[in-house]
Amino acid sequence: MSLTINNLTKSFGQLPVLEDMNLQVKDHEFVAILGPSGSGKSTLLQLIGGLLTPDNGTIQMNEEKINGQKGLISYMPQNPSLFPWRTVLDNVVLAAELKGNPDYEEAKLLLKKAGLEEFQTSYPSELSGGMKQRVAFIRALLGKQTLLCLDEPFSALDEFTRIKMQKWLLSIWEENRKSILFITHSIEEALFLADRIYVLSKRPAYVKVEITIPFSRPRDESLIAKHEFFQLKQEILQYMKEELNGDD
């Protein structure tokens, strides 16, 4: 699965949001999109998800134009968005259910791996914030689509839970390596997780710089203390500062 976005432009009325955006997610690749808040990251996702159609440019999946087509991506939103009346097991199969008969055995297996086996029959209101996000991620994984779009999935969690969740996400991802497009505003998160990072400009957004991350996998948290990690972080911080300084 590969995703290619060419010259994507979108504006709402007089307000330009995306301008001439180009990016790519290759097969089995983990790509992070880093941008200041209000830079049009969510708009980008809605364009890829087909909820919006671009004013200009193309979105291609496996060389095929998919502008405005829905249901081709798996999606994990910022807040877990679990259905309160469904048990954990019924929640994780939801995305798959939309496309046909879900595989309950696979769902149970993934829940077990996520340490949620005993919560299968619980309702979301009985889970902690981190557990809810794990359920939401498994729901996205169980979707039949091969591109996962994650919209700032850990931004509402506390620092400790977030680091734990990032490690957990990597460990699950190492096993099946679906292509991931990960939206975030945390530089460390992007550096820790991704193979490549696109840094967006402020609105109207375009790709300011593309950074390939040299760290090998599997990664662990000792990476955060390394000199190279720190240097890359400073570099990206510099780019983002340039963007923010331009503001008013």
Binding residues (CB under 8 A) for other proteins: these are: 45-46, 49-51, 70-75, 77, 79, 81, 83-87, 94-95, 97-99, 123-126, 143, 149
* Contact present, 135 and 127 (Cβ < 8 Å): yes
What residues contact residue 52 under an 8 Å CB cut-off, 6+ apart? 10, 43, 46, 68
Min. distance of Cβ 79 from other proteins in angstroms? 6
Residue with Cβ nearer other proteins (65 or 99): 99
Residue with Cβ nearer other proteins (92 or 213): 92
Residue with Cβ nearer other proteins (156 or 163): 156
Q: Crossing angle, helix 129-142 and helix 159-176, to 10 degrees?
A: 20
Supply φ then ψ for residue 161, to 5 degrees.
-65, -35
Min. distance of Cβ 148 from other proteins in angstroms? 12
**2 alpha carbon, distance to own chain's centre:** 15
β-bridge partners, 216: none
Residue 182 in tokens? 């990960």
Q: How far is CA 198 from CA 183, 209, 211, in A?
A: 10, 6, 6
Residue with Cβ nearer other proteins (89 or 213): 89
Residue 156 in tokens? 């509402």
Q: How far is 53 from 13, CA to CA, in rounded Å?
A: 14
Residue with Cβ nearer other proteins (43 or 201): 43
Min. distance of Cβ 72 from other proteins in angstroms? 7
Min. distance of Cβ 75 from other proteins in angstroms? 4
Min. distance of Cβ 123 from other proteins in angstroms? 3
Min. distance of Cβ 118 from other proteins in angstroms? 17
Q: How far is 195 from 103, CA to CA, in rounded Å?
A: 30
Residue with Cβ nearer other proteins (97 or 195): 97
Min. distance of Cβ 227 from other proteins in angstroms? 39
Q: Is 50 left (phi over 0), alpha (psi -120 to 50) or beta?
A: left
Residue with Cβ nearer other proteins (142 or 205): 142
Q: How far is 28 from 179, CA to CA, in rounded Å?
A: 4
